[in-house]
Amino acid sequence: MNNYITVILMIILSLQSCNNDSYDKIDAKAMVVSAHPLASDVGIAVLKKGGNAADATIAVQFALAVVYPSAGNIGGGGFFVYRSNKGNYSTLDYREKAPLIAYRDMYLDSNNKVIKNSSLYSHKAVGVPGTVDGMVEIHQKYGNLKWEELVQPSIDLAENGFVVTSRESKKLNRFNANHNVSDFYNPYYKDQFKEGDTIKLPDLAQTLKFIRDYKREGFYSGKVAENLITEMKNNEGFITENDLKSYKSIWREPIIGNYKNYKLISMGPPSSGGVLLMQMLKMAEQFPLKKYKFHSKESIHIMTEIERRSFADRAKHFGDPDFYDVPISELLDSSYLQTRANNIDLNIATPSDNIYAGSWNASESDETTHFSIVDQYGNASSVTTTLNGSFGSGIVVKNSGFLLNNEMDDFSIKPGHPNMYGLIGGEANSIIPEKRMLSSMTPTILEKNGQLFMIVGTPGGSTIISAVFQVILNVIEYGMSIEESVNASRFHHQWYPDEIKLEKVISKDSSLIRELQSLNHRLNFVNSMNRVDAILIENHQLFGGADNRGDDHISFF
Protein backbone atom coordinates (compact mmCIF):
# COMPACT_ATOMS: atom_id res chain seq x y z
CA MET A 1 0.00 0.00 0.00
CA ASN A 2 1.67 3.25 -1.03
CA ASN A 3 1.58 6.38 1.09
CA TYR A 4 -1.00 8.17 -1.05
CA ILE A 5 -3.51 5.32 -0.84
CA THR A 6 -2.93 5.01 2.91
CA VAL A 7 -3.70 8.70 3.51
CA ILE A 8 -6.84 8.63 1.33
CA LEU A 9 -8.06 5.45 3.03
CA MET A 10 -7.58 6.99 6.48
CA ILE A 11 -9.58 10.06 5.47
CA ILE A 12 -12.43 7.87 4.24
CA LEU A 13 -12.32 5.74 7.36
CA SER A 14 -12.34 8.77 9.65
CA LEU A 15 -15.64 9.80 8.05
CA GLN A 16 -17.03 6.32 8.65
CA SER A 17 -15.79 5.90 12.20
CA CYS A 18 -17.52 6.70 15.45
CA ASN A 19 -15.82 8.52 18.28
CA ASN A 20 -16.57 8.51 21.96
CA ASP A 21 -18.68 11.65 21.72
CA SER A 22 -21.48 9.98 19.75
CA TYR A 23 -23.26 6.72 20.38
CA ASP A 24 -22.53 3.11 21.18
CA LYS A 25 -25.05 1.23 19.02
CA ILE A 26 -23.60 0.73 15.59
CA ASP A 27 -24.85 -1.15 12.55
CA ALA A 28 -21.48 -2.67 11.72
CA LYS A 29 -19.83 -5.87 10.57
CA ALA A 30 -16.54 -5.26 12.37
CA MET A 31 -15.17 -2.94 15.04
CA VAL A 32 -11.91 -1.76 16.60
CA VAL A 33 -11.78 0.22 19.85
CA SER A 34 -8.37 1.56 20.88
CA ALA A 35 -6.67 4.42 22.67
CA HIS A 36 -6.09 6.49 19.53
CA PRO A 37 -8.27 7.33 16.49
CA LEU A 38 -5.49 6.69 13.97
CA ALA A 39 -4.71 3.27 15.44
CA SER A 40 -8.39 2.30 15.38
CA ASP A 41 -8.61 3.44 11.75
CA VAL A 42 -5.53 1.41 10.82
CA GLY A 43 -7.15 -1.68 12.34
CA ILE A 44 -10.43 -1.22 10.53
CA ALA A 45 -8.57 -0.64 7.23
CA VAL A 46 -6.95 -4.05 7.66
CA LEU A 47 -10.35 -5.65 8.30
CA LYS A 48 -11.84 -3.97 5.23
CA LYS A 49 -9.08 -5.54 3.14
CA GLY A 50 -10.18 -9.00 4.29
CA GLY A 51 -7.93 -9.31 7.31
CA ASN A 52 -9.12 -10.94 10.50
CA ALA A 53 -8.96 -9.89 14.16
CA ALA A 54 -5.41 -11.24 14.50
CA ASP A 55 -4.26 -9.23 11.47
CA ALA A 56 -5.88 -6.11 12.92
CA THR A 57 -4.23 -6.80 16.28
CA ILE A 58 -0.79 -6.69 14.66
CA ALA A 59 -1.54 -3.53 12.70
CA VAL A 60 -3.02 -1.72 15.71
CA GLN A 61 -0.11 -2.75 17.96
CA PHE A 62 2.45 -1.27 15.56
CA ALA A 63 0.33 1.85 14.91
CA LEU A 64 0.07 2.52 18.66
CA ALA A 65 3.86 2.28 18.87
CA VAL A 66 3.90 5.38 16.66
CA VAL A 67 0.91 7.51 17.66
CA TYR A 68 0.58 6.55 21.35
CA PRO A 69 4.18 6.57 22.62
CA SER A 70 3.33 6.63 26.34
CA ALA A 71 2.14 3.01 26.18
CA GLY A 72 1.98 1.74 22.60
CA ASN A 73 5.26 0.05 21.91
CA ILE A 74 7.75 -2.23 20.24
CA GLY A 75 10.05 -1.89 23.25
CA GLY A 76 7.63 -3.44 25.76
CA GLY A 77 5.30 -6.41 25.85
CA GLY A 78 1.77 -7.58 26.57
CA PHE A 79 -0.90 -10.26 26.47
CA PHE A 80 -3.23 -11.43 23.68
CA VAL A 81 -6.54 -13.23 24.25
CA TYR A 82 -8.23 -14.67 21.14
CA ARG A 83 -11.56 -16.33 20.46
CA SER A 84 -12.17 -17.79 17.02
CA ASN A 85 -15.57 -17.80 15.36
CA LYS A 86 -15.71 -21.52 16.09
CA GLY A 87 -15.45 -20.87 19.84
CA ASN A 88 -11.79 -21.89 20.24
CA TYR A 89 -9.57 -19.91 22.63
CA SER A 90 -5.89 -19.13 22.93
CA THR A 91 -3.75 -16.70 24.90
CA LEU A 92 -0.27 -15.45 24.07
CA ASP A 93 2.19 -14.18 26.68
CA TYR A 94 4.60 -11.73 25.08
CA ARG A 95 5.53 -10.20 28.42
CA GLU A 96 9.08 -8.91 28.92
CA LYS A 97 11.73 -10.99 30.70
CA ALA A 98 14.55 -10.28 33.12
CA PRO A 99 17.94 -10.14 31.35
CA LEU A 100 20.31 -13.10 31.70
CA ILE A 101 22.64 -11.19 34.01
CA ALA A 102 19.87 -9.81 36.22
CA TYR A 103 19.99 -10.88 39.86
CA ARG A 104 17.76 -10.85 42.90
CA ASP A 105 19.14 -7.82 44.76
CA MET A 106 20.15 -5.72 41.76
CA TYR A 107 18.24 -2.66 43.00
CA LEU A 108 19.54 -2.73 46.59
CA ASP A 109 22.53 -0.89 48.01
CA SER A 110 25.14 -2.32 50.41
CA ASN A 111 22.76 -1.66 53.32
CA ASN A 112 19.97 -3.67 51.67
CA LYS A 113 18.04 -0.46 50.95
CA VAL A 114 16.24 0.12 47.64
CA ILE A 115 18.18 2.53 45.41
CA LYS A 116 15.67 5.24 44.52
CA ASN A 117 14.30 5.07 40.95
CA SER A 118 16.86 2.44 39.91
CA SER A 119 14.05 0.10 38.81
CA LEU A 120 12.19 2.90 37.06
CA TYR A 121 14.39 5.37 35.19
CA SER A 122 17.71 3.66 34.53
CA HIS A 123 18.88 1.33 31.79
CA LYS A 124 18.80 -1.44 34.39
CA ALA A 125 15.02 -0.96 34.64
CA VAL A 126 14.49 -2.40 31.14
CA GLY A 127 13.17 -5.92 30.62
CA VAL A 128 13.84 -7.81 27.38
CA PRO A 129 11.11 -6.60 24.96
CA GLY A 130 8.54 -9.10 23.71
CA THR A 131 6.17 -7.18 21.45
CA VAL A 132 7.73 -7.88 18.05
CA ASP A 133 8.16 -11.59 18.73
CA GLY A 134 4.56 -11.71 19.96
CA MET A 135 3.21 -10.12 16.78
CA VAL A 136 5.19 -12.57 14.63
CA GLU A 137 3.76 -15.49 16.64
CA ILE A 138 0.21 -14.20 16.20
CA HIS A 139 0.72 -13.81 12.46
CA GLN A 140 2.19 -17.28 12.07
CA LYS A 141 -0.75 -18.87 13.88
CA TYR A 142 -3.69 -16.78 12.73
CA GLY A 143 -2.62 -14.27 10.07
CA ASN A 144 -4.63 -13.96 6.88
CA LEU A 145 -3.02 -10.97 5.13
CA LYS A 146 0.66 -10.62 4.30
CA TRP A 147 2.91 -9.42 7.13
CA GLU A 148 4.09 -6.44 5.08
CA GLU A 149 0.54 -5.13 4.72
CA LEU A 150 0.12 -5.11 8.50
CA VAL A 151 3.31 -3.18 9.31
CA GLN A 152 3.23 -0.66 6.44
CA PRO A 153 0.51 1.62 7.90
CA SER A 154 2.63 2.29 10.98
CA ILE A 155 5.62 3.07 8.75
CA ASP A 156 3.49 5.59 6.86
CA LEU A 157 2.38 7.24 10.11
CA ALA A 158 5.96 7.50 11.40
CA GLU A 159 7.37 8.70 8.08
CA ASN A 160 4.65 11.14 7.01
CA GLY A 161 3.86 12.31 10.52
CA PHE A 162 0.73 12.39 12.63
CA VAL A 163 -1.18 15.21 14.30
CA VAL A 164 -0.98 15.47 18.08
CA THR A 165 -4.26 15.62 20.00
CA SER A 166 -4.84 18.01 22.90
CA ARG A 167 -4.46 15.28 25.51
CA GLU A 168 -1.35 13.88 23.84
CA SER A 169 0.31 17.31 23.69
CA LYS A 170 -0.13 17.73 27.45
CA LYS A 171 1.18 14.24 28.10
CA LEU A 172 4.27 14.84 25.94
CA ASN A 173 4.95 18.13 27.70
CA ARG A 174 4.79 16.42 31.10
CA PHE A 175 7.10 13.66 29.87
CA ASN A 176 9.64 16.15 28.58
CA ALA A 177 9.53 18.15 31.80
CA ASN A 178 9.80 15.10 34.07
CA HIS A 179 12.62 13.39 32.18
CA ASN A 180 14.61 16.47 31.13
CA VAL A 181 14.82 14.85 27.70
CA SER A 182 16.44 17.83 26.02
CA ASP A 183 19.68 16.51 27.54
CA PHE A 184 19.74 13.45 25.28
CA TYR A 185 18.53 12.20 21.95
CA ASN A 186 14.75 11.93 21.89
CA PRO A 187 12.44 12.23 18.87
CA TYR A 188 9.51 13.23 21.10
CA TYR A 189 11.26 16.33 22.44
CA LYS A 190 10.01 19.83 21.74
CA ASP A 191 10.05 22.91 23.95
CA GLN A 192 6.27 22.90 24.08
CA PHE A 193 3.79 20.74 22.18
CA LYS A 194 0.34 22.03 21.34
CA GLU A 195 -2.74 20.46 19.80
CA GLY A 196 -2.38 20.21 16.01
CA ASP A 197 1.40 19.86 15.96
CA THR A 198 2.75 17.16 13.65
CA ILE A 199 5.33 14.62 14.79
CA LYS A 200 7.49 12.75 12.29
CA LEU A 201 9.61 9.81 13.47
CA PRO A 202 12.08 8.86 10.71
CA ASP A 203 14.26 6.62 12.91
CA LEU A 204 11.22 4.69 14.14
CA ALA A 205 10.02 4.42 10.54
CA GLN A 206 13.34 2.82 9.59
CA THR A 207 13.09 0.39 12.52
CA LEU A 208 9.60 -0.57 11.42
CA LYS A 209 10.89 -1.12 7.87
CA PHE A 210 13.43 -3.62 9.23
CA ILE A 211 10.57 -5.37 11.05
CA ARG A 212 8.43 -5.30 7.90
CA ASP A 213 11.18 -6.80 5.77
CA TYR A 214 12.73 -9.27 8.21
CA LYS A 215 9.99 -9.90 10.80
CA ARG A 216 11.54 -11.08 14.07
CA GLU A 217 15.11 -10.79 12.85
CA GLY A 218 14.48 -7.14 11.97
CA PHE A 219 14.27 -6.34 15.67
CA TYR A 220 16.16 -9.02 17.61
CA SER A 221 19.20 -9.04 15.31
CA GLY A 222 20.76 -6.74 12.74
CA LYS A 223 20.98 -2.95 12.99
CA VAL A 224 18.11 -2.45 15.46
CA ALA A 225 19.53 -5.01 17.88
CA GLU A 226 23.00 -3.46 17.53
CA ASN A 227 21.58 -0.03 18.43
CA LEU A 228 19.74 -1.44 21.45
CA ILE A 229 22.80 -3.30 22.73
CA THR A 230 24.98 -0.20 22.23
CA GLU A 231 22.43 1.78 24.26
CA MET A 232 22.78 -0.80 27.04
CA LYS A 233 26.58 -1.01 26.97
CA ASN A 234 27.00 2.77 27.06
CA ASN A 235 24.70 3.18 30.05
CA GLU A 236 25.34 0.15 32.30
CA GLY A 237 22.23 -1.65 31.08
CA PHE A 238 21.87 -5.42 31.34
CA ILE A 239 20.33 -6.54 28.02
CA THR A 240 22.77 -8.41 25.76
CA GLU A 241 22.77 -10.01 22.32
CA ASN A 242 21.99 -13.36 23.95
CA ASP A 243 18.90 -11.90 25.64
CA LEU A 244 17.51 -10.75 22.30
CA LYS A 245 18.28 -14.00 20.51
CA SER A 246 16.76 -16.18 23.24
CA TYR A 247 13.54 -14.23 23.84
CA LYS A 248 10.42 -16.22 22.99
CA SER A 249 6.75 -15.44 23.57
CA ILE A 250 4.65 -18.34 24.90
CA TRP A 251 1.19 -19.68 24.12
CA ARG A 252 -0.39 -20.38 27.50
CA GLU A 253 -3.56 -21.97 28.79
CA PRO A 254 -6.29 -19.36 29.26
CA ILE A 255 -8.14 -18.85 32.52
CA ILE A 256 -11.71 -20.01 31.86
CA GLY A 257 -14.55 -19.70 34.33
CA ASN A 258 -18.16 -18.70 34.78
CA TYR A 259 -20.12 -15.89 36.34
CA LYS A 260 -23.76 -16.99 36.45
CA ASN A 261 -24.58 -17.91 32.84
CA TYR A 262 -21.62 -16.03 31.37
CA LYS A 263 -18.34 -17.66 30.41
CA LEU A 264 -15.07 -15.75 30.76
CA ILE A 265 -11.81 -16.29 28.92
CA SER A 266 -8.89 -14.34 30.34
CA MET A 267 -5.13 -14.29 30.79
CA GLY A 268 -3.31 -16.56 33.23
CA PRO A 269 0.06 -16.08 34.97
CA PRO A 270 2.39 -14.29 34.72
CA SER A 271 -0.64 -12.03 34.63
CA SER A 272 -2.60 -12.11 37.86
CA GLY A 273 -5.53 -10.51 36.05
CA GLY A 274 -7.53 -13.53 34.91
CA VAL A 275 -7.36 -15.41 38.20
CA LEU A 276 -8.15 -12.37 40.36
CA LEU A 277 -11.01 -11.36 38.06
CA MET A 278 -12.51 -14.84 38.39
CA GLN A 279 -12.02 -14.77 42.16
CA MET A 280 -13.80 -11.44 42.41
CA LEU A 281 -16.71 -12.48 40.23
CA LYS A 282 -17.19 -15.81 42.03
CA MET A 283 -17.23 -14.03 45.40
CA ALA A 284 -19.61 -11.40 43.99
CA GLU A 285 -22.04 -14.19 43.08
CA GLN A 286 -22.67 -14.67 46.80
CA PHE A 287 -24.26 -11.22 47.17
CA PRO A 288 -27.44 -9.62 45.70
CA LEU A 289 -25.59 -6.78 43.96
CA LYS A 290 -28.51 -5.98 41.67
CA LYS A 291 -30.71 -5.42 44.72
CA TYR A 292 -28.12 -3.10 46.27
CA LYS A 293 -27.93 -1.01 43.06
CA PHE A 294 -25.05 0.80 41.39
CA HIS A 295 -22.71 2.74 43.69
CA SER A 296 -24.80 2.15 46.77
CA LYS A 297 -23.07 1.97 50.13
CA GLU A 298 -23.63 -1.79 50.15
CA SER A 299 -22.34 -2.50 46.64
CA ILE A 300 -19.16 -0.40 47.01
CA HIS A 301 -18.48 -1.92 50.44
CA ILE A 302 -18.90 -5.52 49.25
CA MET A 303 -16.89 -5.05 46.06
CA THR A 304 -14.14 -3.29 48.01
CA GLU A 305 -13.93 -6.14 50.51
CA ILE A 306 -13.78 -8.64 47.63
CA GLU A 307 -10.96 -6.73 45.94
CA ARG A 308 -9.08 -6.45 49.24
CA ARG A 309 -9.05 -10.24 49.68
CA SER A 310 -8.04 -11.02 46.10
CA PHE A 311 -5.12 -8.59 46.16
CA ALA A 312 -3.89 -10.18 49.39
CA ASP A 313 -3.71 -13.48 47.48
CA ARG A 314 -1.89 -11.76 44.63
CA ALA A 315 0.90 -10.55 46.88
CA LYS A 316 1.83 -14.06 48.00
CA HIS A 317 0.78 -16.58 45.40
CA PHE A 318 1.60 -15.11 41.97
CA GLY A 319 4.68 -15.16 39.76
CA ASP A 320 5.96 -16.49 36.45
CA PRO A 321 4.57 -20.06 36.13
CA ASP A 322 7.81 -21.15 34.46
CA PHE A 323 9.58 -20.46 37.75
CA TYR A 324 6.87 -20.76 40.39
CA ASP A 325 3.98 -23.17 40.75
CA VAL A 326 1.03 -20.75 40.94
CA PRO A 327 -1.82 -22.57 42.80
CA ILE A 328 -4.52 -21.60 40.31
CA SER A 329 -6.95 -24.42 41.10
CA GLU A 330 -6.75 -23.70 44.83
CA LEU A 331 -7.23 -19.96 44.31
CA LEU A 332 -10.34 -20.61 42.20
CA ASP A 333 -11.75 -23.40 44.34
CA SER A 334 -15.43 -22.70 45.03
CA SER A 335 -15.23 -23.71 48.71
CA TYR A 336 -12.21 -21.46 49.26
CA LEU A 337 -13.93 -18.48 47.63
CA GLN A 338 -17.16 -19.16 49.52
CA THR A 339 -15.18 -19.01 52.78
CA ARG A 340 -13.49 -15.76 51.74
CA ALA A 341 -16.88 -14.23 50.87
CA ASN A 342 -18.44 -15.45 54.13
CA ASN A 343 -15.78 -13.55 56.07
CA ILE A 344 -16.99 -10.22 54.69
CA ASP A 345 -18.77 -8.22 57.39
CA LEU A 346 -21.60 -6.24 55.79
CA ASN A 347 -21.50 -3.66 58.56
CA ILE A 348 -17.81 -2.79 58.87
CA ALA A 349 -14.64 -2.71 56.75
CA THR A 350 -12.08 -5.38 57.58
CA PRO A 351 -8.69 -3.73 58.22
CA SER A 352 -6.10 -4.96 55.72
CA ASP A 353 -3.84 -5.81 58.67
CA ASN A 354 -6.40 -8.53 59.45
CA ILE A 355 -6.52 -9.90 55.89
CA TYR A 356 -3.96 -12.46 54.81
CA ALA A 357 -3.31 -14.43 51.67
CA GLY A 358 -5.36 -17.60 51.65
CA SER A 359 -3.91 -20.91 52.75
CA TRP A 360 -5.03 -24.46 52.23
CA ASN A 361 -3.96 -28.00 52.76
CA ALA A 362 -2.06 -28.80 49.61
CA SER A 363 0.90 -30.85 48.37
CA GLU A 364 1.59 -25.44 48.03
CA SER A 365 1.34 2.39 34.49
CA ASP A 366 -0.89 3.57 35.11
CA GLU A 367 0.35 3.60 31.66
CA THR A 368 -0.68 0.66 29.64
CA THR A 369 -3.06 0.51 26.70
CA HIS A 370 -5.79 -1.88 25.66
CA PHE A 371 -7.68 -2.52 22.44
CA SER A 372 -10.63 -4.71 21.55
CA ILE A 373 -11.42 -6.10 18.09
CA VAL A 374 -14.27 -8.03 16.45
CA ASP A 375 -13.88 -8.89 12.77
CA GLN A 376 -16.51 -9.52 10.10
CA TYR A 377 -15.98 -13.27 10.46
CA GLY A 378 -16.85 -13.36 14.17
CA ASN A 379 -13.29 -13.69 15.53
CA ALA A 380 -12.35 -11.52 18.50
CA SER A 381 -9.16 -10.35 20.19
CA SER A 382 -8.57 -8.62 23.49
CA VAL A 383 -5.09 -7.16 23.82
CA THR A 384 -3.35 -5.25 26.62
CA THR A 385 0.16 -3.97 26.02
CA THR A 386 2.51 -1.76 28.00
CA LEU A 387 5.83 -0.08 28.71
CA ASN A 388 4.82 -0.09 32.42
CA GLY A 389 5.13 3.56 33.49
CA SER A 390 4.12 6.42 31.22
CA PHE A 391 6.69 6.42 28.39
CA GLY A 392 8.33 3.47 30.19
CA SER A 393 11.87 4.19 31.36
CA GLY A 394 11.89 7.39 29.32
CA ILE A 395 14.84 6.00 27.36
CA VAL A 396 14.82 6.05 23.57
CA VAL A 397 17.18 3.78 21.62
CA LYS A 398 19.41 6.16 19.71
CA ASN A 399 19.10 5.91 15.91
CA SER A 400 16.19 3.46 16.24
CA GLY A 401 13.59 5.82 17.68
CA PHE A 402 11.65 3.60 20.09
CA LEU A 403 11.09 3.87 23.83
CA LEU A 404 12.18 1.19 26.27
CA ASN A 405 10.06 -0.23 29.08
CA ASN A 406 10.70 -0.09 32.84
CA GLU A 407 9.02 -3.43 33.53
CA MET A 408 11.71 -4.63 35.94
CA ASP A 409 9.89 -2.56 38.57
CA ASP A 410 7.05 -5.09 38.38
CA PHE A 411 9.25 -7.67 40.09
CA SER A 412 9.44 -7.75 43.87
CA ILE A 413 12.66 -5.76 43.94
CA LYS A 414 12.64 -6.40 47.68
CA PRO A 415 9.93 -8.60 49.26
CA GLY A 416 7.39 -6.32 50.95
CA HIS A 417 8.56 -3.21 49.02
CA PRO A 418 5.77 -1.70 46.87
CA ASN A 419 6.26 -1.08 43.16
CA MET A 420 5.30 2.17 41.39
CA TYR A 421 1.61 1.22 41.68
CA GLY A 422 1.85 0.48 45.39
CA LEU A 423 1.57 -3.28 44.85
CA ILE A 424 3.41 -5.51 47.29
CA GLY A 425 5.00 -8.74 46.14
CA GLY A 426 6.81 -11.65 47.70
CA GLU A 427 9.21 -14.45 46.92
CA ALA A 428 7.07 -15.80 44.07
CA ASN A 429 7.81 -12.62 42.09
CA SER A 430 11.49 -12.16 42.97
CA ILE A 431 14.03 -11.38 40.24
CA ILE A 432 15.55 -14.36 38.43
CA PRO A 433 17.26 -14.27 35.01
CA GLU A 434 14.82 -14.93 32.12
CA LYS A 435 11.84 -14.77 34.45
CA ARG A 436 8.74 -12.80 33.47
CA MET A 437 7.58 -10.18 35.94
CA LEU A 438 4.08 -10.31 37.43
CA SER A 439 1.38 -8.25 35.74
CA SER A 440 -2.15 -7.00 36.43
CA MET A 441 -3.16 -6.86 32.75
CA THR A 442 -6.58 -8.44 32.24
CA PRO A 443 -7.56 -8.74 28.57
CA THR A 444 -10.84 -10.66 28.69
CA ILE A 445 -13.53 -12.10 26.40
CA LEU A 446 -17.01 -13.12 27.59
CA GLU A 447 -19.59 -15.45 26.11
CA LYS A 448 -23.31 -15.56 26.84
CA ASN A 449 -25.12 -18.81 26.07
CA GLY A 450 -22.16 -19.93 23.95
CA GLN A 451 -22.13 -16.78 21.84
CA LEU A 452 -19.57 -13.97 21.78
CA PHE A 453 -20.79 -11.31 24.23
CA MET A 454 -18.04 -8.89 25.33
CA ILE A 455 -14.42 -7.96 24.68
CA VAL A 456 -12.96 -5.82 27.45
CA GLY A 457 -9.74 -4.62 29.02
CA THR A 458 -7.99 -1.49 30.24
CA PRO A 459 -4.71 0.13 31.23
CA GLY A 460 -4.16 1.35 34.76
CA GLY A 461 -1.57 -0.69 36.64
CA SER A 462 -3.02 -2.23 39.78
CA THR A 463 -6.47 -0.77 39.05
CA ILE A 464 -6.85 -2.80 35.85
CA ILE A 465 -8.43 -5.84 37.49
CA SER A 466 -10.96 -3.91 39.56
CA ALA A 467 -11.94 -1.78 36.54
CA VAL A 468 -12.64 -4.85 34.37
CA PHE A 469 -14.52 -6.41 37.31
CA GLN A 470 -16.72 -3.33 37.66
CA VAL A 471 -17.36 -2.84 33.93
CA ILE A 472 -18.59 -6.44 33.64
CA LEU A 473 -20.89 -6.06 36.66
CA ASN A 474 -22.17 -2.71 35.39
CA VAL A 475 -23.49 -4.43 32.28
CA ILE A 476 -24.66 -7.74 33.76
CA GLU A 477 -26.01 -6.61 37.13
CA TYR A 478 -26.90 -2.95 36.62
CA GLY A 479 -28.18 -3.09 33.05
CA MET A 480 -25.86 -0.43 31.63
CA SER A 481 -25.00 -0.13 27.97
CA ILE A 482 -21.33 -0.78 27.26
CA GLU A 483 -20.78 2.95 26.69
CA GLU A 484 -22.36 3.80 30.04
CA SER A 485 -20.42 1.07 31.79
CA VAL A 486 -17.05 2.10 30.35
CA ASN A 487 -17.58 5.74 31.27
CA ALA A 488 -19.09 5.19 34.72
CA SER A 489 -17.02 6.35 37.69
CA ARG A 490 -14.85 3.73 39.37
CA PHE A 491 -13.24 2.78 42.67
CA HIS A 492 -10.43 0.44 43.69
CA HIS A 493 -8.92 -1.36 46.68
CA GLN A 494 -5.71 -3.41 46.48
CA TRP A 495 -5.20 -4.59 50.09
CA TYR A 496 -2.36 -2.13 50.75
CA PRO A 497 -2.46 0.79 51.10
CA ASP A 498 -5.60 0.25 53.18
CA GLU A 499 -7.85 2.73 51.39
CA ILE A 500 -10.49 2.93 48.69
CA LYS A 501 -9.27 4.92 45.72
CA LEU A 502 -12.28 6.69 44.15
CA GLU A 503 -12.69 9.01 41.21
CA LYS A 504 -13.48 12.53 42.39
CA VAL A 505 -16.88 12.58 40.71
CA ILE A 506 -18.08 10.14 43.39
CA SER A 507 -17.16 12.65 46.09
CA LYS A 508 -20.08 14.83 45.00
CA ASP A 509 -22.39 12.31 46.65
CA SER A 510 -21.75 13.49 50.20
CA SER A 511 -24.24 11.10 51.80
CA LEU A 512 -22.54 8.09 50.15
CA ILE A 513 -19.15 9.34 51.36
CA ARG A 514 -20.43 9.65 54.93
CA GLU A 515 -21.92 6.16 54.75
CA LEU A 516 -18.65 4.63 53.54
CA GLN A 517 -16.71 6.42 56.24
CA SER A 518 -19.20 5.14 58.83
CA LEU A 519 -18.10 1.62 57.79
CA ASN A 520 -14.49 2.61 58.64
CA HIS A 521 -13.36 2.89 55.02
CA ARG A 522 -10.51 5.31 54.35
CA LEU A 523 -11.04 7.20 51.10
CA ASN A 524 -8.56 8.61 48.62
CA PHE A 525 -9.97 10.66 45.74
CA VAL A 526 -8.19 10.82 42.37
CA ASN A 527 -9.05 12.63 39.16
CA SER A 528 -9.55 9.55 37.01
CA MET A 529 -8.73 5.85 36.72
CA ASN A 530 -8.39 3.60 33.69
CA ARG A 531 -9.43 4.03 30.07
CA VAL A 532 -11.49 0.99 29.24
CA ASP A 533 -12.05 -0.02 25.61
CA ALA A 534 -14.76 -2.61 25.07
CA ILE A 535 -17.20 -4.11 22.58
CA LEU A 536 -20.56 -5.70 23.41
CA ILE A 537 -22.39 -8.05 21.04
CA GLU A 538 -26.14 -8.51 21.45
CA ASN A 539 -28.67 -9.74 18.89
CA HIS A 540 -25.90 -9.78 16.27
CA GLN A 541 -25.29 -6.04 16.76
CA LEU A 542 -22.03 -4.44 17.83
CA PHE A 543 -22.01 -1.91 20.65
CA GLY A 544 -18.78 0.03 21.22
CA GLY A 545 -17.48 1.56 24.43
CA ALA A 546 -14.59 4.02 24.03
CA ASP A 547 -13.55 5.68 27.27
CA ASN A 548 -14.05 9.44 27.33
CA ARG A 549 -11.19 9.80 29.83
CA GLY A 550 -8.84 9.67 26.82
CA ASP A 551 -8.78 10.00 23.04
CA ASP A 552 -10.16 6.45 22.80
CA HIS A 553 -11.99 5.82 19.56
CA ILE A 554 -14.38 3.39 17.88
CA SER A 555 -13.81 2.59 14.19
CA PHE A 556 -16.07 0.25 12.26
CA PHE A 557 -17.49 -0.73 8.91
Residues carrying an active site annotation: 368
- Please report which residue ranges of 113-248 form alpha helices under DSSP H: 131-142, 147-160, 166-179, 202-214, 217-220, 222-233, 241-246
The alpha carbon torsion through 348, 354, 357, 363 (nearest 10 deg) reads -120
The Cα–Cα gap between 92 and 108 comes to 33
The DSSP result for 202-230, as a single string, is HHHHHHHHHHHHHTTHHHHSHHHHHHHHH
CB 404 within 8 A of CB 419: no
| Helix (H) or strand (E) segment spanning residue 449 | none
**Region class of 378: left (phi > 0), else alpha (psi between -120 and 50), else beta:** left
In 3D space, the residue among 312, 313, 455 whose CA is nearest the CA of residue 373 turns out to be 455
Dihedrals phi, psi of 352, to nearest 5 degrees = -60, -25
Helix, strand, coil tally for the chain in percent (to 5): 40, 20, 45
In 3D space, the residue among 428, 375, 429, 426 whose CA is nearest the CA of residue 407 turns out to be 429
CB 536 within 8 A of CB 543: yes
Partners of 525 in beta bridges: 502
Residue 97 per-residue DSSP state: B
The Cα–Cα gap between 182 and 187 comes to 10
